[in-house]
Amino acid sequence: MSNCNLLINKFIEKFGQLIKYGLVGIVNTLITAIVLFTLMNCFGVSYKTSNAIGYVAGFVNSFIMNKLWTFKDSKAPITKQFLRFSAVFVICYLLQRWLLIFLVEELFINKNISQLIGMIFYTLISFVFNKLFAFKNS
């Protein structure tokens, strides 16, 4: 196989992985959004608590789908990957939460719009951290 074909195949492999991550992200975003917006807007739960519960709701699904489908890594020990994935989740979630609070309390942006901005931010940074750290053997 020529170098050009190898480069094309590698590009398709990586681009396909990004698409899969995006699809998993859509599912997780839907889970997160349904939970947090329902808690916040229907049950009067604070935006901070709703945010935390919503993100936790999508966490396990995200790990399973990304491990088995997106990054297809069944070689690495699941405990090690879960701990790495959890660390990435905590870091990205805390960064997202800081942004959310800043948008709502300092910039006075509507809490629903701020939640959406936070979701986009979280998705982008979590892909990078998961690719480089949690599933780095993929």
| Mean of pLDDT values over 29-53 | 94
Q: From the CB of residue 97, how many other CB atoms can be counted at a distance below 10 Å?
A: 16
What is the residue-averaged pLDDT of the chain?
A: 88
Query: Do the beta carbons of residue 138 and residue 44 sit within 8 Å?
Result: no
Q: Does the pLDDT value for residue 138 go beyond 60? A: no
| Mean of pLDDT values over 21-26 | 87
- Residues 51-79 have pLDDT tens digits of 999 999 999 889 988 888 888 766 778 88
Distances (CA, A) of 115 to 39, 75, 89, 95, 111: 13, 36, 17, 13, 6
How high is the pLDDT of residue 73? 66
CA distance 90 to 51: 13
Q: From the CB of residue 78, how many other CB atoms can be counted at a distance below 10 Å?
A: 12
Q: Does the pLDDT value for residue 97 go beyond 90? A: yes
Instruction: State pTM to two decimals.
Output: 0.74
Q: Name the band, by pLDDT with cuts 50, 70 and 90, for residue 10.
A: confident
